[in-house]
Amino acid sequence: MTRTEQAPPIRLQDYRPPDWLVDTVHLDVSLHPTASRVRARLALRPNSETGAPAPVVLDGDGLNLVSVSIDGVPLPKEAFVATPDRLTISQAPPGSFRLEIETLLDPAANTQLSGLYRSSGVYCTQCEAEGFRRITYFPDRPDVMAVYNTRIEADKAEAPVLLANGNLVAQSDLPNGRHFAEWHDPFPKPSYLFALVGGTLACVSDTFRTLSGREVALKIYVEPGKEHRCGYAMDSLKRAMAWDEQAFGREYDLDIFMIVAVSDFNMGAMENKGLNIFNDKYVLASAETATDGDFASIEAIIAHEYFHNWTGNRITCRDWFQLCLKEGLTVFRDQEFTADQRSRPVKRISDVRVLRGHQFVEDAGPLAHPVRPELYREINNFYTATVYEKGAEVVRMVKTLIGAEKFRKGMDLYFSRHDGQAATVEQFIRCFADVSDLDMPVFMRWYSQAGTPEVVASGTWDETGNTYRLDIAQAVPPTPNQPVKQPMLMPMALGLVGKDGRDLPLLLADGKTVERGVLTLSQPADTFVFADVGERPVLSLNRAFSAPIKLTANLSPADLSFLAAYDSDPFNRWQSVQVLALGILLADVRQTRAEATREDLIAAMAEILNDARLEPAFIAQALSLPGEADIAREIGSDIDPDAIFRARLALRSAIGQSLAGTLEEAYARMTENGAYSPDATSAGRRSLKNTCLDLLAADGNAEGTERAAQQYRAAGNMTDRIAALGTLSLHDTPQRAQAIEDFYGRYSSDPLIIDKWFALQASIPEAGTLDRVRALTTHAAFSLSNPNRVRSLIGAFAQGNLTQFNRADGRGYQFIADNVLALDEKNPQVAARLLSAFKSWRSLEAGRRAQAEAALRRVASASDLSRDVNDIAQRALADASDTAASS
């Protein structure tokens, strides 16, 4: 593999079309654990766009070349230069020709899990972003789209199932116990969407009839014995297929759609054309093994990968800078799917929690980057919350700005105009500008400017004039390499809420209308004056989180309590409770006085808890405080994670004590004894029940603890059991020790459940946790080579346990640095992801900051670092003011 001190950066502005295009790829793969042979036949053609004849330069990564030939004639050694990372043919034939390349791979030794590798005896591939070059030499860039034909041969005993993209065209037995299968994918695709699978797999089958009446075979392949855990994934897939036809007019295009679950996987799942490969965590589920959260993730990720068939596969990205074109858009699509399948307000709230807890945090630290970065050293490090989650917010803003009808028109135009192409973000946004008055140049700043816009709003009612004046100012804070920002074009959905809780009409004094309740902001400061406002309204701004911003408005605790009780926008009901809570938490950490009191917050929560019209899942969200990372980000600098934890625990304890009676009632009311069903309504009831359980035990009282212990023992499903264990885990009691031991005993044979056991212990917010985690790294069920194990134990500690990762003595940082270095030799992608836990180190108080910096510098100075880890270390350490050096 390539290990360099500092890879040269790749820049968006340097993009050039490829010199050579590939019309067809014939792959002939003979599988063997340590010596798989790949013969690639590429139909190459000079790109007429680029003019002059150019040498053929193909990407490789650690390849072992056997032979090269052109139009059937072997090339003499002097006619090409081959290194593991590049194949150059300087004197290529003048026109089109056939290039044949044979390489030899060792899938068993591929611990990076990129390219062709083996996972528990199953051959599989992962080619996004740059894994195909680990299989054969190729112009491995998304704007080279080819038609693939794949023939796979293997020992039938070892790999009875042989799969690749497209439709099956031939299969047969061969002498000596061998057999083959041949697949043809008629849709031109970039190399990152190539996939093959070979192994012993069980298959669950179903069918789907498309809108136009075609029958599609649906197949989910899993480890034999796990077939009974595929039902929810299959059901989700069928619902996703139907939804995409109805919501976006998109029909599936091949005769077969396959999903394969593997246990060693760097990401969540991969949308390879017709052959999605999944982390088994996002396929397998049953009441006994999976939580409501797992079911919801499976539904969303199955849908996400399926939706990529149009947004990503049929229309792909011109280059990797455009990653958000497929990811932001597809996340938006999966969010909308879930909102339609479940509860729109609850989905919006949970997405905003993720956005604030991850993307806003990323945007506020040294790893901040625009939704479309302009420079990268390692593209694997840009599969981030910014590209995915903020990328989805940007698409959502387009819809809010131009309205649902024009948005659909713009999407239709995008699908018809760019089908079969490798497109750019400009081409995507152009489609909406063409069907509306969207100011495209100004809107494009969302793709180029990093940082979370900060918006300050102030409203005043003029009693004599019956007018309401709203002043809104915006600014985007500086981020690495971007000291100065321009104002953003953003949709601001609002309501002026009257005394009776109803929205007053929005009439602008200048006679303009407020379409769909949405104002458009685009200036550093905007002023709006509303006419005919006969009473003092309460301002409800950024409804449904119409823009992904940090908002400060001049709302009193009484205004917030009023909105929490009466706002017609459910998101802002929830948000008002969050603002009340945040004010109290920040004041507590800073040891100042909050404007709102605990009583204000608790009264607002009680009102929501007693509102029988509200869905339980929403109430659960309203009772849940902002997360620790979110609170830290609001504080901004000189952060002491212990103080944040203490403030949050104290407030949760106070809520639990003050509302004990009501919470107990709700707990009893939400408890069901019937059979488990993963549907959204039942999940919502469990969510409220377990929120009550947790608040009631927050202060560690004996009754609350015993209630949790009892629920743990009696639980009929994984949701209730793991929730009870989570509640118990916060206090060191005999019940906790018992439950942790019992849990392992019950589930020791199931790695996906043991992952929960690892994660739970790694998240315990107390000083003994680091030693516990260290000990668990030598547990028989743990392995540094399996990404799910690493993420559930070491990842959960680094990313999910703020007080213990950020221990004042620096041992948390040292432990993670040690593991990053150990992991880097095996799997640089997972190592780099782990190192990004340091993304907020600069905002810590001085003592921890020095400890974190020392750990980061130790990683950065290690020899033989991968490009992935080196890139994160360098960016994390780059001096924010030294903009030239880091570009």
Q: What is the contact surface with Zn ion in residues (CB under 5 A)? A: 327, 330
Name the residue nearer to Zn ion (CB basis): 327 or 559. Answer: 327
Name the residue nearer to Zn ion (CB basis): 127 or 728. Answer: 127
Name the residue nearer to Zn ion (CB basis): 201 or 283. Answer: 283
Torsion of CA 843, 846, 851, 853, to 10 degrees: 50
For residue 331, the minimal CB distance to Zn ion (Å) is 7
How many residues does this entry show for the chain? 887
Cα 489 to Cα 141, 394, 474, 523, 547, distances in angstroms? 32, 11, 10, 8, 10
For residue 430, the minimal CB distance to Zn ion (Å) is 22
Cα 539 to Cα 458, 494, 597, 868, distances in angstroms? 9, 7, 21, 46
Candidates 100, 130, 271, 305; catalytic one: 305
Q: Is 305 among the catalytic positions?
A: yes
Cα 797 to Cα 297, 460, 788, 803, distances in angstroms? 21, 47, 13, 10
Name the residue nearer to Zn ion (CB basis): 330 or 682. Answer: 330
Name the residue nearer to Zn ion (CB basis): 149 or 380. Answer: 380
For residue 376, the minimal CB distance to Zn ion (Å) is 18
Name the residue nearer to Zn ion (CB basis): 143 or 327. Answer: 327
Residue 860 is encoded by which pair of tokens? 């950065």
The DSSP bridge partners found for residue 40 are: 27, 101
Provide the b/e sequence for 726-760 (b: ≥16 CB within 10 Å): bbbbbbebebbeebbeebeeebeebbbbbbbbbbb
Residue 619 is encoded by which pair of tokens? 């109430």
Asked whether 236 and 220 are in contact (CB, 8 A), the reply is no
Residue 83 is encoded by which pair of tokens? 């290194």
- Rounded CA separation 55/88 (Å): 7
Cα 638 to Cα 5, 362, 536, 841, 846, distances in angstroms? 33, 17, 39, 10, 7
β-strands 97-105, 65-70 pairing: antiparallel
For residue 316, the minimal CB distance to Zn ion (Å) is 12
For residue 302, the minimal CB distance to Zn ion (Å) is 12
- Rounded CA separation 240/380 (Å): 28
**First and final CA of the chain: distance in angstroms?**
25
Name the residue nearer to Zn ion (CB basis): 330 or 769. Answer: 330
For residue 330, the minimal CB distance to Zn ion (Å) is 5
By the 10 Å C-beta count (0-12 exposed, 13-18 middle, 19+ buried), 99 is classed as buried
DSSP 47-67: -GGG-S---EEEE-SS--EEE
For residue 326, the minimal CB distance to Zn ion (Å) is 6
Asked whether 250 and 313 are in contact (CB, 8 A), the reply is no
| Nearest of 794, 873, 844, 832 to residue 361 by alpha carbon | 844
- Rounded CA separation 867/377 (Å): 8
Name the residue nearer to Zn ion (CB basis): 226 or 308. Answer: 308
Backbone angles phi, psi at 191, to 5 degrees: -65, -25
For residue 144, the minimal CB distance to Zn ion (Å) is 20
Asked whether 771 and 815 are in contact (CB, 8 A), the reply is no
Name the residue nearer to Zn ion (CB basis): 25 or 193. Answer: 193
Tell me how crowded residue 354 is: count the other CB atoms within 10 A of its CB.
Answer: 14
Name the residue nearer to Zn ion (CB basis): 334 or 853. Answer: 334
For residue 871, the minimal CB distance to Zn ion (Å) is 21
For residue 800, the minimal CB distance to Zn ion (Å) is 23
Active-site residue list: 305
